[in-house]
Amino acid sequence: MAFSERVACRLGKGVNIYEASGWGTEGALERTVDFDGLLTRMRRLYARTEGQKSLLSGRIAVARRDFIRNLLHEITSHGLPSAGLVWRQLRQDPWTLAVLIPESIRIALERKKHSLEESRTGKAQP
């Protein structure tokens, strides 16, 4: 974890950015963009060792996948999200665009696999 006196929070000091941003909301998409941005800045500004950079890179990859999963859910459930939000993600983490299609295919195949297992067993899969 790294700290700075520079405020990087758009919602104000002391605001819980996770409030009202549960799964399936545009707030969840915004939260993943903010979190990816925080991790990206931490890696760029504060990571000094290769271990720190590697740890943050792994966490950024997870945040990127979370963004894509939230984006797909938002599109299929509620329509297109804010273009500004998507562009902000692509500006701060250009690799998102590179993994968007492969990750979307992986998610679709994962959902299809779970759907087939549910129909075969009659039980919902986690």
Element at 50 (helix H, strand E): helix 50-78
Q: Are 60 and 4 in contact (CB under 8 A)?
A: no
Taking the alpha carbons at both ends of the chain, their separation in whole angstroms is: 31
Cβ atoms within 10 A of the Cβ of 64, count? 22
Domain assignments of the chain as residue spans, ordered by start: 26-95
The lowest-confidence range among 7-11, 70-74, 99-103 is 7-11
For residues 66-88, average pLDDT: 90
CB atoms within 10 A of CB 112: 10
Phi then psi dihedrals of residue 12, to 5 deg: 110, 160
* Burial profile 22-42: b = 16 or more Cβ within 10 angstroms, e = fewer: eeebebbbbbbbbbbbbbbbb
| pLDDT at residue 98 in the model | 94
> Is the predicted pLDDT of residue 122 greater than 50, yes or no?
yes
State the pTM of this model: 0.73
Q: Is the pLDDT of residue 95 over 90?
A: yes
Within 10 A of 65 (CB to CB), how many other CB atoms are there?
Answer: 16
Give the mean pLDDT of 97-112. 92
